Structure 1
Amino acid sequence: MHLTQEAFLAAVQERGEYPSQQEAERAARVVLALLGAHVVGQERAELAARLPETYALILLNPLQAAEPLGPERFVRATAAWIEGATEETAKWDTGAVLSVVADAAGEDLMHRVLLQLPPGYDLLFGHPDRHEADSRQPGERGA
C-alpha cells in the first residue's frame, strides 16, 4: 500500500488526535528521522518505498544514532527533538506515527523491521506481544 502525503498525515493526525496538520507533520518528521537510524538495508528501502516521498527521504537520510536506542530512549530522543514535548507526549507522538507506518508496511515487512530493532518496539508500532510470541519456548502457551 502506498500512501499519499495527505493520507499519511491525515492518518497520523487522527491517531495522534492533533488539532493541526502541522503538529502531525512535526511528529512524523522527528519519529521517522530517528527510526531511519535504526532500520537498515533492504528493510529500510522497502519501508521508504511504502511512504510518501517526503517521508521516505527523511527515513533514508536519518538523524545519526551512536547506538541503537531501546524503546524508552527512542521516546526520550523524540521528546528532545520536539519543542515543548514531554516523555508522555512523545510516547503519544511515536505511537501515532509508527502505527501508521506499520499499516503502510504490512505484516511481513513489519516483522522484518522489528527483528532489526531492540525488544519492545512492537509496542511503539502498535503490535504488542510480537517478540514474546517469537521467543516463547516450544510447548509454552500464550496468554
Structure 2
Amino acid sequence: MDMRWSEFVAKVRERGQYPTTKEAERVSRIVLSALGGHLTGPERTELAVRLPEEGMRVLTDQLRVTKPLSGAQFVDSVAARIEGATPATARWDVSSVLSVVAEIAGGDLLDRIIDRLPPGYALLFGRAQLAQLV
C-alpha cells in the first residue's frame, strides 16, 4: 500500500474525529513514536516499510524500551506525552492511530505484531484478544 503521510493523517483525523489536521498529525507522531520503542524484530521492519515515509521515520527513530509495557501501561505512557490527556482520551488517541496502522499492516503482520507485544494491545489495534486457558 503506497500511502502518503497526509493520507495517513487524514484517516487518523477521521477515525479520531479530530477538529484539525494538525491535532491528528500530533497524535499520530506521539503514538507511532511510543509504538516504535515497544515493537522489535522483523515485525518492526515490516511495518515500517508499509508506513508512509514520515511514519516510518517516526517509528524507527525510537530506541527499544528496557521494560515492555502492557497495553494499559502503554496508554498511560502516551497520556503522559499529550498535554491535558487522561487515560480515556489517550486510549481514544492510541486506538485512532493504531486502527489505521492495523489496516496498513494487514492481517498476518498484525497478528505477529500483537503476538510480539505484551498482553492488552489487541484491542488498541481494533482486535479482540482471546485469553488462552492453560
1:110 pairs with 2:114: no
Unaligned runs of 5+ in 2: none
Q: 1:37 aligns to what SS in structure 2?
A: helix
Query: Which secondary structure does the structure 2 equivalent of 1:25 belong to?
Result: helix
AA aligned opposite 2:102: A
Give the root-mean-square deviation of aligned CA atoms. 1.4
Q: Does 1:120 align with 2:120?
A: yes
Structure number with larger C-alpha Rg = 1
Matched position secondary structure for 1:23? helix
Aligned residue pairs total 134
Matched, 1:65 2:65: yes
Would the aligned equivalents of 2:99 and 2:126 in 1 still touch at CA under 8 Å?
yes
Q: TM-score, normalised by structure 2?
A: 0.94
Instruction: Give the gaps of 5 or more residues in structure 1.
Output: 138-143
Identity %: 49
Q: CA deviation at 1:66?
A: 2.7
Does the 8 A contact of 1:34 with 1:63 survive in 2?
no
Please give the alpha-carbon distance, in whole angstroms, between the structure 2 residues aligned to 1:119 and 1:45: 21
After TM superposition, the score normalised by the length of structure 1 is 0.88
SS of the residue corresponding to residue 38 of structure 2 reads: coil
Alignment of 1:1-143 (within 5 A): 1-62=1-62, 64-129=64-129, 131-132=130-131, 135=132
